[in-house]
Structure 1
């Protein structure tokens, strides 16, 4: 008696290649959507933080000067004046690691007094 050999069916690799290609395109697009931060900024390190993109964040440098999208901001209230009502609900600050905590707290309080409902500090872990 002869045994009948069954052919093993091959898995189609075209679908897998398509998925990998789509993931590559997604990561290329997602990586270019965020507004770049200032190059001389050293971020604070934390272990756990909610991951939020800092595109509309107030950048506070080590010397205390503030910038928003590359433009110098004089006061926290000037920053809030540039935001629409929806973005004022949750304001993000990206501080330099060398910024004294007292100054960071003072800026957070000034933002709250100017009308921000919540102030979130974005750190290095949050940008990953």
Structure 2
């Protein structure tokens, strides 16, 4: 009588594939929970700075147009006059890369005159 051939044990690859797929779905969902940035604005690049995502930033387009959460504002001081619970001492700016520096300085001075104590400019990190 012949002995039956020993059966090979199978590796649990299906379980591993399921775990990797669930992690992929988790990170896709977690990445879409953050509010999206204005699509037509390219940020200035900087190197070696620590930063964090600006939750409520005043967006400045290349032509100097000011936007807050998609709403066009008439002036920089109108950003501080909005009736919400936002901290008025710290203002976060997201200027377009093509915005002239003179316009950025003018807007910063207008915000300071309107009562902003600190102005933070959001940039992208350079890979150099």
User: TM-score, normalising length from structure 1?
Assistant: 0.71
| Number of equivalent positions | 115
* Higher normalized helix content (fraction of residues): 1
Runs of 4+ in 1 over 3 A off after TM superposition: 21-25, 27-30, 83-86
Please tell me whether the aligned partners of residues 34 and 54 of structure 1 are also in contact (alpha carbons under 8 angstroms). Answer: no
Give the secondary-structure state (helix, strand or coil) at the position aligned to 2:81.
helix
User: TM-score, normalising length from structure 2?
Assistant: 0.71
C-alpha distance in structure 1 between counterparts of 2:62 and 2:86, whole Å: 29
Query: Which of 1 and 2 has greater Rg?
Result: 2
Give the secondary-structure state (helix, strand or coil) at the position aligned to 1:82.
coil
Aligned-residue offset at 1:22 = 7.3
Provide closer, same or farther for how the CA distance between residues 84 and 98 of structure 1 changes in structure 2, counting only shifts above 3 A. Answer: same
Gaps of 5+ in 1: 1-16
Give the secondary-structure state (helix, strand or coil) at the position aligned to 2:46.
coil
Gaps of 5+ in 2: 1-17
